[in-house]
């Protein structure tokens, strides 16, 4: 399969790849759409939190994983917490790029690390919207690119994109890395993939996507150049480097896996997740949650099958497939599944393409309804159980 082509993609003109400048100029529409959806989510969260007697700022910047990132930004990797069941939870489970950026922003501004994290996520979200648009535009045109961004901003757990979490940062790096792969800019893709690997462990999915794209191009051209090899070598360095560093600190090559195991995270092929769903279905209070998990998982798998049938470029399929497998087949806190699927944005591309074929009078209300639903869900979620 040729990278950047397929039945759902726009073919390059015979004279070479299309100029990037028009796409860059038109990206502001997608970035504005993203900002509007996220602003709505923050407004609803502020109103909901005020009624509930909570503080929206605290929910966004100083709860759950955000606290761990701030501790790393302030003190480095030296904090552990003993859980009630005796497990020792280490901050080594959290990859370093976000706390590094929080520390850097706090050092050159009046912001503390927590607010610096919010600023990093805000800027990264805009960068992610830009990268998503370029990918959608490259494959299916302007309207599909804008709608891809709007849909990603309006997913039910979209509020995480505005938190001091690493999701927005990771997706920004991943989206631009994948776009660089589609453009055959191997060194840039490798550097971005390496940075993505410093943001989250699933960054290895970005490296695998680059390898897949390079293999396709090498097979097509029967040529491997130095830039391709350099990009392929750079891609895994971020994730691999951090994992090896943790292993050295733990005195074991697989020390990072031990750290994750203490948190209850591991890869079991989805066995624990399946057992959790069955448990939910067996009790009256949880039956609806169990049914919701089944429907959500089925929709994600179905969307991936559609992506395959529509012949998305192989790098996108590899990236999305790995993100899905790691999200759905890992043990741990099962409420985190929707958040872990947030980076799998290519799943939304078939929907964006379908909406792009409708008149704006029909597609815009659909996206608006999704944005309102996302805002309400996000506000109730953060004021309830909250993200893990």
pLDDT at 15: 36
Per-residue pLDDT band for 23 (boundaries 50, 70, 90) equals low
Is residue 17 over pLDDT 80?
no
Is residue 185 over pLDDT 50?
yes
Per-residue pLDDT band for 219 (boundaries 50, 70, 90) equals very high
pTM recorded for the entire structure: 0.93
Least confident of 5-14, 321-330, 379-388: 5-14
Overall average pLDDT of the 223-229 stretch:
96
Is residue 20 over pLDDT 60?
no
Contact 128, 166 (CB under 8 A): no
Structure tokens at 325: 């497998």
pLDDT at 221: 96
Is residue 71 over pLDDT 70?
yes
pLDDT at 3: 37
Per-residue pLDDT band for 288 (boundaries 50, 70, 90) equals confident
Is residue 381 over pLDDT 90?
yes
Q: How many CB atoms lie within 10 A of CB 329?
A: 15
pLDDT at 19: 46
Contact 190, 214 (CB under 8 A): no
Per-residue pLDDT band for 52 (boundaries 50, 70, 90) equals very high
Q: Is 135 helix (H, G, I), strand (E, B) or coil?
A: helix
Residue/partner pairs of 76-81 with CB below 8 Å, 24 or more apart: 77/249
pLDDT at 290: 80
Q: pLDDT tens digits for 25-35?
A: 789 999 999 99
Per-residue pLDDT band for 7 (boundaries 50, 70, 90) equals very low
Q: In the chain, pLDDT over 70 holds for what percent of residues? A: 93
pLDDT at 26: 87
pLDDT at 278: 85
In angstroms, rounded to a whole number, what is the distance separating the alpha carbons of residues 151 and 65? Answer: 25
Overall average pLDDT of the 130-155 stretch:
97
Is residue 363 over pLDDT 50?
yes
In angstroms, rounded to a whole number, what is the distance separating the alpha carbons of residues 36 and 376? Answer: 15
Per-residue pLDDT band for 166 (boundaries 50, 70, 90) equals very high
Q: pLDDT tens digits for 307-323?
A: 999 999 999 999 999 99
Residues 6 or more apart in contact with residue 52 via CB below 8 angstroms: 383
Is residue 113 over pLDDT 60?
yes
Overall average pLDDT of the 203-230 stretch:
97
pLDDT at 12: 38
- What is the secondary structure of 89-138 as a DSSP string? EEGGGS-SHHHHHHHHHHHTSS--HHHHHHHHHHHHHHHHHHHHHHHHHH
Contact 210, 193 (CB under 8 A): yes
Mean pLDDT of the chain: 92
In angstroms, rounded to a whole number, what is the distance separating the alpha carbons of residues 270 and 268? Answer: 5
Higher pLDDT among residues 4 and 144, named by residue: 144
What is the phi/psi pair of residue 332, to 5°? Answer: 120, -160
Q: In the chain, pLDDT over 90 holds for what percent of residues? A: 80
Is residue 11 over pLDDT 50?
no
């Amino acid at each position: 399969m040729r990278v950047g082509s397929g039945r759902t993609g726009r073919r390059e003109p015979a004279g070479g790849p299309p100029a990037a400048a028009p796409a860059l100029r038109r990206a502001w529409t997608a970035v504005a759409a993203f900002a509007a959806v996220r602003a709505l989510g923050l407004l609803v969260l502020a109103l909901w939190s005020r009624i509930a007697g909570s503080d929206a700022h605290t929910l966004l910047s100083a709860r759950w994983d955000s606290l761990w990132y701030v501790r790393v930004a302030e003190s480095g990797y030296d904090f552990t917490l003993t859980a009630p069941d005796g497990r020792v939870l280490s901050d080594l489970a959290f990859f370093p790029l976000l706390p590094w950026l929080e520390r850097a922003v706090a050092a050159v501004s009046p912001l503390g690390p927590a607010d610096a994290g919010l600023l990093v996520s805000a800027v990264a979200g805009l960068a992610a919207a830009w990268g998503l648009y370029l990918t959608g535009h490259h494959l299916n045109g302007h309207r599909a690119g804008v709608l891809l961004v709007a849909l990603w901003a309006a997913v039910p757990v979209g509020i995480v994109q505005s938190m001091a979490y690493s999701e927005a940062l990771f997706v920004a790096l991943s989206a631009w890395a994948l776009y660089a792969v589609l453009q055959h800019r191997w060194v840039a893709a490798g550097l971005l993939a390496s940075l993505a690997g410093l943001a989250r462990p699933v960054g290895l999915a970005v490296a695998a996507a680059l390898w897949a794209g390079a293999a396709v191009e090498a097979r097509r051209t029967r040529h491997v150049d130095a830039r391709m090899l350099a990009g392929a070598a750079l891609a895994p360095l971020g994730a691999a480097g951090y994992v090896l560093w943790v292993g050295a600190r733990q005195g074991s090559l697989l020390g990072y896996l031990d750290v994750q195991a203490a948190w209850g995270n591991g890869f079991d092929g989805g066995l624990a997740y399946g057992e959790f769903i069955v448990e939910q279905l067996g009790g009256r209070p949880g039956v609806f949650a169990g049914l919701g998990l089944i429907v959500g998982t089925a929709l994600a798998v179905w969307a991936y099958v559609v992506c395959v049938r529509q012949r998305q470029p192989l790098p996108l399929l590899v990236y999305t497939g790995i993100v899905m497998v790691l999200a759905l087949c890992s043990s741990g806190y099962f409420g985190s599944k929707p958040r872990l699927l947030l980076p799998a944005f290519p799943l939304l591309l078939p929907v964006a393409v379908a909406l792009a074929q409708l008149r704006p009078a029909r597609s815009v209300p659909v996206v608006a309804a999704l944005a309102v639903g996302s805002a309400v869900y996000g506000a109730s979620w953060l004021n309830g159980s909250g993200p893990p």
